[in-house]
Amino acid sequence: MPITRENTSTHVARRAITFTAATSFGEVGAVPLFTVTGEVIINKIIPYCTTNLAGGSATLSLGVTSGVADFVAATTATDIDANEFWVDNAPDANGVAIPAALMDIIITDNIIGTVATANVTGGVMEFTVYWTPISVDGNVA
């Protein structure tokens, strides 16, 4: 097998989600965040809240289609407030070390949020993903 040289530099993908309780935007079920093709390493994923989440008893987890809480376990949505990093089920203001569950993860599935219990009816989250392709078609968009 010949040795190939590929572009293995780190890339960045960002997405903001405004929760409205609509399908794919906070209704109970999947909230698509990033489409993944091929194989990629998620060097870091940083979820940050810019506007308080609302939704009574709603919960939100962060993962991939085959593991909906691979990155962050289900968290009561109303506990995720503006200016907080959502890196575990107790969001942190100002700054926090990135936990292992959000770093150096190899995936092939799409990255999603999963809403359970009730709809997330309001709020805004920003998701920043630093990633590196492994396969020739590796991409996060």
Residue bearing tokens 């960002």:
14
CB neighbourhood size of 60 (10 A): 29
Residue bearing tokens 């070390």:
97
Cα–Cα distance, 29 to 37 (Å, whole number): 22
| Model confidence at 3: pLDDT above 60 | no
Domain assignment of residue 86, given as a range? 11-140
* Secondary structure letter of residue 82 according to DSSP: T
| Residue 22 located in a structural domain | yes
* pLDDT band for position 115 (cuts 50, 70, 90): very high
| Residue 5 located in a structural domain | no
Q: How many domains does the chain have?
A: 1
pLDDT given for residue 4 in this prediction:
59
| Model confidence at 91: pLDDT above 60 | yes
